[in-house]
A and B are shown apart, each in its own frame.
Chain A
Amino acid sequence: MSMLSLQNIAIRYNKVPAVHDVSIEVEAGEIVALVGGNGAGKSSALRAVAGLNPVAAGKVVFNGVDITQVPAHQRTGLGLSLVPEGRRLFPKLSVEKNLRLGAFTRRDAAEIEESLDYAFTLFPILKERRQQVAGTLSGGEQQMLAIGRGLMAKPRLLMLDEPSWGIAPKLVTKILDTIQQVNASGITILLVEQNIKRALEIANRGYVLQTGRIVLAGSGRDLLDNPEIQKAYLGI
């Protein structure tokens, strides 16, 4: 049984279809990437898993439980955590407050401190800036904080929406390395990226979306070697 399975989901915005009949499986321990161009429906699908978009058809099953009708705020407690597109930090609150809000669903104070230490180990810069207001961080630091905040929920599945968006290429490497590091610690990763090459490099498997449908699926390596992908997205 896979950890997450999207079964034939369809998503519409005011009746305008954005995703048609998409099925995705994520096994425990994997890094899975959803890639594709602008408006392909990647983020829509991810937000449906997080519960932020209602699905018009199909099912979302997490660890064998149908969560299609579970409201967003209750999915966090089940072990799902979303690092949203554009970071969506709380700009007027400090780095530490942002992180602590990430642990909203948890009660054990000692465990929360442990997670806070973990976030600071992953991103030491956040420890230096812990009292600084989140809105004043650089783009890369904000992304680190968003990932740290997502991890504070102690998820089993961490979902990242465009983590490379708007940050320097050098930091993209650092962030993708950290995502692999997080994955190695036992957290399953579902990643949405427009930066197709970088995403497929770290992914075990990938799905290519185009205008709301899955057009290709396979291992990260195979997709990178696929001539169609190279032609359409990688400019090779």
Chain B
Amino acid sequence: MTAHRPNTRRNATLALALAVACILPLVVTSPSHQNFLILILMFAQVGVAWNILGGYAGQVSLGHVAFFGIGAYTSTMLFIHAGISPWLGMLAGGLVSSCFAVAIGWPCFRLKGHYFSMATIAVAEILQVLFTNWESVGGAVGLNVPLAEQGWANMVFNTSKLPYYYIALGLLIVTLLANWAIERSFLGYYFRAIKDEPDAASSLGISLTRYKLVAIAISSFFTALGGSFYAQKELYIDPGSVLSTSLSIKMALVTILGGVGSLFGPVLGSTLLTSIEEVTRQAFGGSGMGTDLILYAAIIIVVAVYYPTGIVGWLRQIRRRYAKPEARG
């Protein structure tokens, strides 16, 4: 058996990637570059969270920003009105988000395929309108995270981006570990059974709705953590930033680009997509011109036509091509 060899290589690659991720912000000291790295980690994290529902269970949500927004609003409101640390607020946001997800999942999962995706868009849009007109949560003006004493207790850092970087990295690692655990547990098998052969799964006794609800509950929990983190990083949220449709699309897109249903796909997807965005932003200026949406559409077309398995699938193809002559020799 030589099965352990790719595993050791994989572990070595992971250790190396982790080491680079830890050291990188110490080398890259410019705040704007550090912010760019934080964005990569943040979108990787929400992509990994999206992947639980969209990738493993095969339910493509285009309204995940609802969970992101709920996370951001819950932790911020708790911080403002009750002085609760965003660390706890983050967990509360995750739980609120999961409850909301189950409540909307119940009716939405009666729809299949594209119809489900469309329903999720509607839910997110409704939420955005609701929050824009809801004065108690700041309405269209948004909310400022209170000017608390900076430090780890309040997750507020004014002078350096470095702590945010490590929090984002930590969140990403936690989310990846959760995904990894799901992938190897019975849940992962049920999710894939539901995705690949729903009729067969239900005639084996697997309740499709129940396990889709489990998937959306877990997925929305981790998405909400990302939302709370975003609120603390920006120290300001409004419906346009944490409940925007383009954010929903981006969450799906980093995963589709990287590789749907693969553990590290969203990380690769986020790295590439965030980089492309950074370049186009500098070239065309600002993000309010809709260039990001044009870009998303172009990427969806290219991936769907040429690389339906995303970057991960493409890399596997290359590795197979080079591995073959080696095996023969």
| A interface residue numbers (CB < 8 A to B) | 50-52, 71-77, 81-82, 84, 88-93, 97, 101-102, 104-105, 149, 153
On whether the beta carbons of A90 and B193 are closer than 8 Å, the reply is: yes
**Which residues of the partner chain B approach A76 to less than 8 Å between Cβ atoms?**
203-205
Give Cα distance in the complex from A41 to B208, angstroms: 26
**Which residues of the partner chain A approach B201 to less than 8 Å between Cβ atoms?**
101
Give Cα distance in the complex from A51 to B203, angstroms: 8
Contact of B207 with A by CB under 8 A: yes
Contact of B205 among A89, A90, A93, A104 (CB under 8 A): A104
| B interface residue numbers (CB < 8 A to A) | 189-190, 192-193, 196-197, 199-208
Residue on B with the closest CB to A91? B196
On whether the beta carbons of B203 and A82 are closer than 8 Å, the reply is: yes
Q: How far is the CB of B214 from chain A (nearest CB, A)?
A: 14
Give Cα distance in the complex from A92 to B192, angstroms: 9
On whether the beta carbons of B189 and A72 are closer than 8 Å, the reply is: no
Question: How many A-B contacts are there with CB distance less than 8 Å?
Answer: 64
Top 4 nearest A-B pairs by Cβ distance? A76-B205, A88-B200, A105-B205, A82-B203
Q: How far is the CB of B191 from chain A (nearest CB, A)?
A: 11
Known: A90-B193, A101-B193. A73 touches B202 (CB 8 A): yes
On whether the beta carbons of A84 and B192 are closer than 8 Å, the reply is: no
Q: 12 additional contacts, CB 8 Å, given A73-B202, A93-B193?
A: A51-B202, A51-B203, A52-B202, A52-B203, A73-B203, A75-B203, A76-B204, A88-B199, A89-B197, A90-B189, A90-B196, A153-B205
Give Cα distance in the complex from A216 to B197, angstroms: 34
Give Cα distance in the complex from A149 to B200, angstroms: 10
On whether the beta carbons of A50 and B203 are closer than 8 Å, the reply is: yes
**Which residues of the partner chain A approach B190 to less than 8 Å between Cβ atoms?**
101
Q: Supply 10 A–B pairs (Cβ within 8 Å), ascending by A.
A: A52-B202, A72-B202, A73-B203, A73-B207, A76-B205, A81-B204, A82-B203, A84-B199, A84-B200, A153-B204
On whether the beta carbons of B204 and A149 are closer than 8 Å, the reply is: yes
Give Cα distance in the complex from A5 to B1, angstroms: 53
On whether the beta carbons of A101 and B203 are closer than 8 Å, the reply is: no
**Which residues of the partner chain A approach B204 to less than 8 Å between Cβ atoms?**
73, 76, 81, 101-102, 104-105, 149, 153
Q: How far is the CB of A189 from chain B (nearest CB, A)?
A: 16
On whether the beta carbons of B208 and A73 are closer than 8 Å, the reply is: yes
Give Cα distance in the complex from A156 to B199, angstroms: 20
**Which residues of the partner chain A approach B206 to less than 8 Å between Cβ atoms?**
73, 101, 104
Known: A82-B203, A153-B204. A93 touches B197 (CB 8 A): no
Give Cα distance in the complex from A149 to B206, angstroms: 13
Most buried by B among A72, A74, A92, A105: A72
